[in-house]
Amino acid sequence: MSSAPTAGGVGRRVSRTAPYAFILPAAVLFVVFMLVPIAYTVFLSFRRTQAIGLGLGPNSREQVFAGWENYAATLTDPELLDSTVRVLGYGLILVPVMLGLALLFALLLDTPRVLLARFARISIFLPYAVPVIIASLLWGFFYLPSVSPVTAVAEALGLPAPDFLGLDNILVSVANIGVWGGVGFNMLVIYTSLRSIPQEVYEAARLDGCSEVQIALRVKIPMVMPSIILTSVFSIIATLQVFSEPKMLSPLTNSISTTWTPLMKVYRDAFIANDIYSAAATSVIIAVVTLVLSLGFLRLVNNRAFGGEQR
């Protein structure tokens, strides 16, 4: 004869299952909206369309296994190589300038007796709140010679007008939009980290005779290095995923092709050339490169920034 479960036993079972019940919605959303699309993209990257007969009938094409064919075609595509080199140049401009300005503004706002600190923080952060598409249109009108105030002023002064959308300047012009929109976010991350440093550390440095510049270089920057590393990783990922800025500027100039960046090539292959299989293979390659670069950068700076701590 079995005995009835006690209240204590039921309570222990509920307490053991409660954590799984709490994480279940997040786990389901992660699987449905993250893992399933990734798995489907990898599946498509190994497929191709094969014509049956002349390929003219309604059922004259079928999807077949392609092996590594799409990856081989993607990796030997000169358009992907050119766009990758272009994005590397874009990153070499964007990341140092954006993080350098963010660190400089954060240090200036953290100095004692700084004037209009709240207004300055909002002013620097405000461009980050502007959607990238809107920011690209705003800067596009600024670059466009027919409506640009810079061109009008240069012509009024009898000076040669700068060609922001020309082949020689287009990389800097696109990077400028990224810098304008990204400085505020990175500045806020570094500034928040600076505000968490105990004031006693600064007072001890001042008692030792350190100036504000020496405090910034020898105390503040080393102590906020984890935040700088974090923003660097975000910036590297954003660099490899650049799409909206050149895409929005492309109707204004012939300097930006449909494959100007790797993601623009994915868009062109998937939605213009209707070759979703090559687009899927390129997407997988971009994701792997982004993951390898991000993890490699973290591993490279781990000992310096985090003292090699293991969690």
pLDDT tens-digit series, residues 96-130: 999 999 999 999 998 887 778 888 888 999 999 99
C-alpha to C-alpha distance for 236 and 231, rounded to whole angstroms? 9
Q: Parse the chain into domains and list their residue ranges.
A: 27-66, 78-306
Q: How many helices (H) and strands (E) does the chain have?
A: 15, 2
Count of Cβ atoms closer than 10 Å to residue 310 Cβ: 5
What percent of the chain lies above the pLDDT cut of 70?
90
Judge whether residue 6 has pLDDT over 90: no
Per CATH, domain 78-306 is 3.65.10.10: no
pLDDT tens-digit series, residues 262-290: 999 999 999 999 899 999 999 999 999 98
pLDDT tens-digit series, residues 29-64: 999 999 999 999 999 999 988 877 666 666 777 888
pLDDT reported for residue 304: 60
CB burial of residue 27 (10 Å; 0-12, 13-18, 19+) = exposed
Nearest Cα neighbor of 45 from 288, 286, 277 is 277
| Span 187-215, average pLDDT | 89
